[in-house]
């Protein structure tokens, strides 16, 4: 039996600091040569891989297509995905896995230092068309698979549409500065994108407009729904010339890295269940809050989310 959701995009390993504050932050900003912190965390990384694993944990049968090699990190990532019931199809590249070093701060911000690794060689030509099946296709880590940007992503969406799948796209922050050429290539994909995920700063950078004006521009391009990450404010959903702001759950900021990917997975879950947008937004915010606040529930299960929402029923 095939998957419900196919995710295509980046896979890497994350090396994450505990949230830094006080002397540690001061040391970094002053250029001190060394600083001791309490802990690093090694985890699965990449927008696509995170979203695929989060979907699997919620009970959605998920297939992930991405590029890895046979170096030790790649082998560990593949084993980790398979242990967590993600059906992984490796597009083999003779280049080691990408690595992201994430410096996280107590107020919830992050600084990423990343290498593309094998992700830089993932292309549309790697994708066996029979693997695109199910109900939904999610393309994630747009900027982190440079050979798969622009027309290649649009063609992937066209294939998915022809097979009856809904589509979604998550982009992240453009590491090359949102040039007009790169923005135009991305906007070209949106006619075939049902759900577009990004945050408020990315929306402004992509559209060169204020939030609501930029959202209107994207919807005119053909996208049906925008799931906007609004940080501590929560999320804002744009659809059918309407918008809905859903406040966040107030939780301690322990693990901001990957929170947007968890939100996206939960949003896709609710979308496939045909929930109304308020229900989808609350559920996605709850998943994100669990990931953000609890290092033992980085990829929350459906039961964990339901329990969390019941115990925080009066907060939204």
Are 180 and 149 in contact, with CB atoms under 8 Å apart? no
Whether the per-residue pLDDT at 293 is higher than 90: the answer is no
Is 206 inside any structural domain? yes
Residue with more model confidence, 26 or 17: 17
Q: Note the pLDDT of residue 196.
A: 98
Q: Note the pLDDT of residue 25.
A: 65
Percentage, residues of the chain above pLDDT 90: 77
Is 34 inside any structural domain? no
Whether the per-residue pLDDT at 306 is higher than 80: the answer is yes
Is 33 inside any structural domain? no
Q: Note the pLDDT of residue 22.
A: 67
Compute CA distances 223 → 23, 75, 217, whole Å. 45, 37, 10
Say how many C-beta atoms besides its own lie within 10 A of residue 294's C-beta. Answer: 16
pLDDT digits (tens, 9 = 90+) for 83-101: 999 999 999 999 999 998 8
Rounded to an integer, what distance in angstroms lies between the CA atom of residue 253 and that of residue 179? 32
Whether the per-residue pLDDT at 67 is higher than 80: the answer is yes
Say how many C-beta atoms besides its own lie within 10 A of residue 34's C-beta. Answer: 5
Domain around 273: 5-12+45-97+117-311
pLDDT digits (tens, 9 = 90+) for 126-183: 999 999 999 999 999 999 999 999 999 999 999 999 999 999 999 999 999 999 999 9
Is 267 inside any structural domain? yes
Three-state SS for the chain is CCCCEEEEECCEEEEEECCECHHHHHHHHHCCCCCCCCCEEEEEECHHHHHHHHHHHCCCCEEEEEEECCCHHHHHHHHHHHHCCCEEEEEECCCCCEEEEEEEECCCCEEEEECCHHHHHCCHHHCCHHHCCCCEEEEECHHHCHHHCCHHHHHHHHHHHHCCCEEEEECCCCCCCCCHHHHHHHHCCHHHCCEEEEEHHHHHHHHCCCHHHHHHHHHHCCCCEEEEECHHHEEEEEECCEEEEEECCCCCCCCCCCHHHHHHHHHHHHHHCCCCHHHHHHHHHHHHHHHHHCCCCCCCCHHHHHHHHHHCCCCC
Q: Note the pLDDT of residue 297.
A: 65
Whether the per-residue pLDDT at 314 is higher than 60: the answer is no
Whether the per-residue pLDDT at 226 is higher than 90: the answer is yes
Q: How many folded domains does the chain comprise?
A: 1
pLDDT digits (tens, 9 = 90+) for 26-60: 666 666 666 666 677 788 999 999 999 999 999 99
Whether the per-residue pLDDT at 315 is higher than 60: the answer is no
Is 137 inside any structural domain? yes
Burial of residue 84, with CB atoms counted within 10 A of its CB: 0-12 exposed, 13-18 middle, 19 or more buried: middle
Looking at every residue in the chain, the average pLDDT score rounds to: 91
Q: Note the pLDDT of residue 285.
A: 97
Please give the average per-residue pLDDT across 67-79, as a whole number. Answer: 96
Please give the average per-residue pLDDT across 53-73, as a whole number. Answer: 97
pLDDT digits (tens, 9 = 90+) for 252-275: 877 777 899 999 999 999 999 999
Please give the average per-residue pLDDT across 112-118, as a whole number. Answer: 89
Residue with more model confidence, 256 or 62: 62
Is 78 inside any structural domain? yes
Whether the per-residue pLDDT at 103 is higher than 90: the answer is no
Query: Sign of the CA dihedral 210, 107, 262, 80?
Result: positive
Is 111 inside any structural domain? no
Is 31 inside any structural domain? no
Any idea what the CATH number is for the domain that residue 204 is in?
Answer: 3.40.1190.20
């Amino acid at each position: 039996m095939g998957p419900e959701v196919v995710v295509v995009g980046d896979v890497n390993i994350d090396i994450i600091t505990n949230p830094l504050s006080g002397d540690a932050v001061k040391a970094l900003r002053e250029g001190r040569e060394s600083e001791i912190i309490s802990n690093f965390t090694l985890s699965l990384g990449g927008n696509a891989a995170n979203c695929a694993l989060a979907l699997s944990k919620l009970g959605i049968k998920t297939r992930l297509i991405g590029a890895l090699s046979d170096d030790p990190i790649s082998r560990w990532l593949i084993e980790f995905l398979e242990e967590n019931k993600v059906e992984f199809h490796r597009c083999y590249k003779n280049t080691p896995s990408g690595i992201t070093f994430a410096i996280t701060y107590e107020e919830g911000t992050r600084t990423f230092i990343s290498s593309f690794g094998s992700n830089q060689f993932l292309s549309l030509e790697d994708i066996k068309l029979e693997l695109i099946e199910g109900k939904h296709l999610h393309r994630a880590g747009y900027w982190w698979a440079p050979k798969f940007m622009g027309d290649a992503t649009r063609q992937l969406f066209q294939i998915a549409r022809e097979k009856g799948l809904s589509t979604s796209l998550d982009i992240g922050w453009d590491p090359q500065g949102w040039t007009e050429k790169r923005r135009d290539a991305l906007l070209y994909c949106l006619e075939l994108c049902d759900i577009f995920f990004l945050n408020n700063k990315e929306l402004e950078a992509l559209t060169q407009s204020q939030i609501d004006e930029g959202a209107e521009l994207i919807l005119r391009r053909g996208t049906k729904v925008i799931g906007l990450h609004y940080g501590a404010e929560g999320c804002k959903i744009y659809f059918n010339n309407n918008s809905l702001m859903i406040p966040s759950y107030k939780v301690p900021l322990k693990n901001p890295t990957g929170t947007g990917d968890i939100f996206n997975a939960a949003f896709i879950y609710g979308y496939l269940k045909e929930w109304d947008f308020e229900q989808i937004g609350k559920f996605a915010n709850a998943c994100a809050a669990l990931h953000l606040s609890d290092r033992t529930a980085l990829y929350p299960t459906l039961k964990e989310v339901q329990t969390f929402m019941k115990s925080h029923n009066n907060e939204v």
